[in-house]
A = this chain, B = another copy of it.
């Protein structure tokens, strides 16, 4: 992380963030749970946090949100843990995870923070921006958890470094 000064204060940089931390953890957790569900294994909070390299308690909050949104299935008690039904894996898209965690009305925002992105009254970067944002939206809507989990299972992708 580079440090840069703005006025008197220093603030550490968060890259060209697209997802919040909560979302990052949510996507990674869901992917990991799915990959284990492919093998009929329920996974515990602890093992998830370890596998995706995330703070345990914070991850718990996110999993609760995902469970309330029926994206993942949770059960308490011994042998409990998290699971995703195989038949649902193809239906669950990245966009749903993002919506569950960061709320709806996502892709709508103006790149320069205008209260509304509107092509008939565009901000200076609208034309440049809209295409990229649209590509991102499409990508999120077209990418299924099944796809991500498969890549992980086969050892093609990784969840930590």
Residues of chain A at the chain B interface (Cβ within 8 Å) = 1-7, 13-22, 24, 27-28, 31, 60-62, 64-65, 94, 98, 100-109, 111-116, 118, 121-126, 128-129, 131-133, 135-136, 139, 143, 148-149, 151-152, 156-161
Contact = CB atoms under 8 A, between A and B. Distances in A.
B124 A159 contact: yes
B15 A108 contact: yes
B135 A15 contact: no
Oligomeric state, in number of copies? Answer: 2
Given A61-B7, A152-B124, A159-B123, A16 B133 contact: yes
Contacts of A65: 4-7
A111 B152 CA distance: 16
A130 B126 CA distance: 21
A126 B161 CA distance: 13
B135 A135 contact: yes
B114 A2 contact: no
A15 to B, nearest CB: 3
A94 B126 CA distance: 13
A23 to B, nearest CB: 9
A136 B21 CA distance: 20
A1 B109 CA distance: 10
A104 to B, nearest CB: 5
B4 A122 contact: no
Given A4-B103, A7-B61, A28-B112, A18 B21 contact: no
16 contacts: A2-B103, A5-B65, A6-B22, A6-B61, A7-B61, A7-B64, A15-B105, A15-B108, A16-B133, A19-B113, A114-B161, A122-B156, A125-B143, A128-B139, A132-B139, A135-B135
